Amino acid sequence: MQASQEELKIGIFLFPDIETLDFCGPLEVFTAANIATGENHFDVYTFAESTAPVKTINGLSVNPDFDMESVPNPDILVLPGGDGTKAVIANPGLLQKLNALQEQTRHTFSVCSGARIPAVLGLLDGKKFTTHHSVFEDILKLAPKARVRPNNRYTDNGKILTSAGVAAGIDLSFYLLEKLKGKEVMDITARYMEYPVKL
């Protein structure tokens, strides 16, 4: 794939009891790509069911940039994990809106137990997935046709990608960064973040 020069929109979904590093990892990688290169590779924003503050499972209070009505259609949709994903998949109205966004993306990726969301939307059927080691069985119950890859740090099915738990979202972000923008941008970003990338 040729490295793209265009600015891609990255929408990061937030919800109560989200795991902090699940979303801060990808947010850091894609914004650091801009900072480290001085180029506008990505327009990164957060969104949630409403713009009210969201409390993470780690106690951090975050203000989403957009709600479900105002969020611009992202080219890349990031679905982080955390215990709060159980409430997300029990909310049909919210799922319907996430699915409408997902239909328009170039890539949709889950981190950790964020895999619950593509699982209930049927997006993992026949696809390879990984997730947090504690929820492989949960995901297979939600998506019996999905093919679990417990030893992979992440999986790439083309449009749908998934990562293992928490910190693995950083690794998947670097993988996708290289795929979208090339090795040089990825290397510059990894050096800025002082992150030992092993793809």
**Contacts to a second copy by CB under 8 A:** 19-21, 24-25, 27-28, 31-32, 35, 44-46, 53, 57-63, 65, 112, 132-133, 164-168, 170, 191-196
Please report how close the Cβ of residue 129 comes to a second copy at its closest, in angstroms. Answer: 15
Question: Quick one: 63 or 104, whose CB is closer to a second copy?
Answer: 63
Please report how close the Cβ of residue 24 comes to a second copy at its closest, in angstroms. Answer: 4
Nearest-angstrom CA–CA distance, 110 and 78:
6
Please report how close the Cβ of residue 28 comes to a second copy at its closest, in angstroms. Answer: 4
Question: Quick one: 28 or 121, whose CB is closer to a second copy?
Answer: 28
Question: Quick one: 66 or 95, whose CB is closer to a second copy?
Answer: 66
Backbone angles phi, psi at 155, to 5 degrees: -130, 150
Please report how close the Cβ of residue 163 comes to a second copy at its closest, in angstroms. Answer: 9
Q: How far is CA 49 from CA 63, 131, 144, in A?
A: 12, 23, 28
Residue 97: exposure state from Cβ atoms within 10 A (0-12, 13-18, ≥19): middle
Nearest-angstrom CA–CA distance, 54 and 36:
29
Nearest-angstrom CA–CA distance, 87 and 9:
26
Question: Quick one: 32 or 120, whose CB is closer to a second copy?
Answer: 32
